[in-house]
Amino acid sequence: MSNITLHTLTSLKEAGKKFTVLTAYDATFAHLMSTAGIEMILVGDSLGMVLQGNSSTLPVTLEEMAYHTRCVAQGNQGAMIMADLPFMTYATAEQCMSSAAKLMQAGAHLVKIEGGAWLADSIEMLATRGIPVCAHLGLTPQAVNKLGGYKVQGKDKSSALEMIEDARRLEEAGASLLLLECVPSLLAEEITRNASIPVIGIGAGPATDAQVLVLHDMLGITPGRRPKFTKNFMEGCNSIEGAILRYIDEVKNGTFPSEAQSF
The reply to whether 112 sits in an annotated binding site is yes
- Residue 159 carries which DSSP code? H
Phi, psi of 151, deg, nearest 5: -120, 155
Instruction: Confirm whether 181 is a catalytic residue.
Output: yes
Helix or strand (DSSP H, E) at 153: none
Q: Give the E-state strand segments of 122-176 in sequence order.
A: 133-138
Q: How far apart are CA 107 and CA 104, in angstroms?
A: 5
Nearest to 212 by CA among 259, 163, 178: 178
The reply to whether 114 sits in an annotated binding site is yes
Bridge partners, residue 200, by sequence: 179, 210
The reply to whether 209 sits in an annotated binding site is no
Q: Tell me the CA distances in angstroms from 91 to 5, 104, 109, 119, 122, one per residue in order.
A: 28, 18, 21, 9, 9
Coil, helix or strand at residue 55: coil
Q: How far apart are CA 29 and CA 75, in angstroms?
A: 8
The reply to whether 46 sits in an annotated binding site is yes
Which of 39, 171, 181, 250 is catalytic? The answer is 181
The reply to whether 94 sits in an annotated binding site is no
Which residues line the annotated binding site for 3-methyl-2-oxobutanoate? 45-46, 84, 112
Which residues line the annotated binding site for Mg(2+)? 45, 84, 114
Which residues line the annotated binding site? 45-46, 84, 112, 114
Residues classed as catalytic:
181
